[in-house]
Structure 1
Amino acid sequence: MKSTLLLIALPCFCTFSPPQSAFDHPPIYQTQDAEQGVVEIQIQQVRNREGMMRVAFYVEEEGFPYAPKHEFEFAKDATEDGVLTISMKLPLGAYAFTLLDDENNNGEMDNNWVGLPKEGFAFSNNAGRRKLTMPGFEACQFRLEDPKTLQVVQMRYL
């Protein structure tokens, strides 16, 4: 009888942690195998400090913009006058990135009933800034060749 009671009570003391999301890792990606550089992104026209700024990097057209190679998230407390600057360390090479101003911090882009984004977004090279369609990988692609590369983009809200 005592051993049965112990087996029933034991699971109550066990704790399980949920699986980590892609955004649970530290905001600096590091590798020992390749020479690295820093991508600094100055994000302009950020409308508030609520939620998180999420950035996803892509290394090839296949999977753009739904299967990123590297993902980072940043708190928006450092936003000053609508400008937030973030930095990531990555292996040298060619990249494209997407930005999501995840104001409600649910990890995804929210859309209205028509399907238009309710949250802010941007692409590297400010690609697609003047269109309602999503830019292609080539329009967004840039090279990280120097120790530091600066991208200046404007957040877009519809």
Structure 2
Amino acid sequence: MRTKIPVGVMLLTMLGNLVLTSSVQANFNGKLTVEIDGLKNQTGLVCVNVFASSQGFPSDSKRVVSNQCSKISGTPLKLTFDNLKAGNYAVAVIHDKNSDGTLNTNALGIPKEGFGFSRNPAILTGPPKFSDAAFFLAGANTSIQIRLKYF
């Protein structure tokens, strides 16, 4: 024998499932592991900035979502960022050889220290756009690899 379920109960059940699904997605926090390779030496620090929008990318440290600097213990070097919400991110990395917290450049503005970006975009006339370095963080664990460049 078949039991009839009132339409109102079915709608409430479906609505409840939608609300539950939305709240789970809104509270999602993932872990990003950044693997940095191509270091010329183990002098100084490697500094990583994680951006969630094009605002300030790649150099405005006031606009970062998360950042870390680490002594170089070997290659490749891995840094982990916890509790990132699902979304688009781009990462900028510098090999801060003199540990002054900035990417040092020569008189022409050409970097004297190593640098790199997520998705390893080609660097022709300046830093990449956010969209060229952006990736989507959606899983519990996301790993990216960045190869440093030196001029």
After superposition, give the CA deviation of every residue in 1:95-153 in whole Å (9 maximum; x if it has no partner).
11100111110011111122210000001111234x24211011111111111111112
2:64 pairs with 1:68: yes
Cα-Cα RMSD: 1.6
Describe how 1:4-23 pairs up with structure 2 within 5 A: none
Aligned to 2:90: 96
* 1:49 shift after superposition: 1.1
CA distance in 2, matches of 1:39, 1:128: 23
TM-score (norm 1): 0.71
Say which structure is richer in helix. Answer: 2
Structure of greater Rg: 2
How many matched pairs?
122
Unmatched 5+ stretches in structure 1: 1-32
| Equivalent of 2:114 in 106, 120, 128 | 120
CA distance in 1, matches of 2:70, 2:29: 20
- SS of 1:126's equivalent? coil
Describe how 1:1-158 pairs up with structure 2 within 5 A: 34-65=27-58, 66=60, 67-77=63-73, 79-80=74-75, 83-89=76-82, 90-129=84-123, 131-158=124-151
* 1:92 shift after superposition: 2.4
Q: Percent identity?
A: 26
* Contact 2:88–2:137 (CA under 8 A) maintained in structure 1: yes
CA distance in 1, matches of 2:78, 2:100: 22
TM-score (norm 2): 0.74
- SS of 1:64's equivalent? coil
Unmatched 5+ stretches in structure 2: 1-25
Moved over 4 A (4+): none
